[in-house]
Amino acid sequence: MITLVVANQKGGVGKTTTAVNLAASLAATKRKVLLIDIDSQANATTGSGHEKAEDKLTIMDVLARGACIKETILPCTDFGFDLVPSCQDLISADIEMTTVPAASLQLKNALRSLEGSYDYVIIDCPPSLGILTLNALRASSKLIIPMQCEYYAMEGLVSLNKAINDINSKTGENIQISAILRTMFDPRARLTREVSEELQKYFPNELCSTVIPRNIKLAEAPSSGKPGLFYDPTAKGTVAYLALAGEVISKFEKDSMVA
């Protein structure tokens, strides 16, 4: 089971779009996929066709209240993957989880019960480095960083990498950035090209060859509660995420077999 964590402390870079569309694209290749939404905004939940689950068990019940993760799983039957939903209670996770023993390991421990049930677990993180993202990072097999090629992008990436190194030194984990995904990509913009060249220079092994273009259909899809693949399968953004799924399979499944 490969656990893909989609994270960036900066908001608006396409984390949720990537998590939902990658889940649907991997499921389309007949992989068994579970999407976990740990962002209190619950956009991955609603973008997968489910309402915000205030009356159901959610990931908060797993992290802070001892619920079994299997009890929280909802099928996204139309889209081919399963979902562990989020809720607004996650806003208070940093406070509520202060009394939980080994709080930053709750998700990692919970996922052990799913070994053999899924090929991929994809975790959509909030735009912060609090207890929720820390849980995701410590549970991760592979870390995917979506980012726009903008002025502060490299600075933010360096900051995130430093934070990961700090986590590793304090916890003994070996978390590493596995993939950097350029999102909302417009090759006509000079700044986009310049930042892209910098990424290629400093992160040649991590930089995905797939780029996700700016695409109105991808932006529209969440309002219909559908991944792009089921909103407009021919849209450029949809095709790009299918290509990303192929790249993920090629790179990460090979790594998994080597390991």
pTM over 0.75: yes
- pLDDT tens, position by position, for the chain (259 residues)? 999 999 998 888 899 999 999 999 999 999 999 999 999 999 999 999 988 756 689 999 999 988 999 999 998 888 999 999 999 888 888 888 888 889 999 999 999 999 999 999 999 999 988 999 999 999 999 999 999 888 777 788 888 888 899 999 999 999 999 999 999 988 888 888 888 988 999 899 999 999 999 999 999 999 999 999 999 999 999 999 999 999 999 999 876 554 4
Of the candidates 86, 94, 36, the one whose C-alpha atom is nearest the C-alpha of residue 58 is: 86
Alpha carbon 237 to its chain's center: 17
Predicted confidence at residue 96, as pLDDT, reads 86
Predicted confidence at residue 191, as pLDDT, reads 84
> Could you give the strand order of the β-sheet that contains 33-37, starting from the edge strand earlier in sequence?
74-76, 81-84, 33-37, 120-124, 2-6, 142-147, 177-185, 207-213
How far apart CA 186 and CA 199 sit, in angstroms, is: 15
The residue ranges of every structural domain in the chain are: 2-258
Predicted confidence at residue 180, as pLDDT, reads 96
Residue 228, token pair as written in the block: 């792009």
Predicted confidence at residue 256, as pLDDT, reads 59
Predicted confidence at residue 53, as pLDDT, reads 59
**SS3 call for 145:** strand
Pick the CATH number of 2-258 from 3.30.70.1230, 3.40.30.160, 2.30.40.10, 3.40.50.300: 3.40.50.300
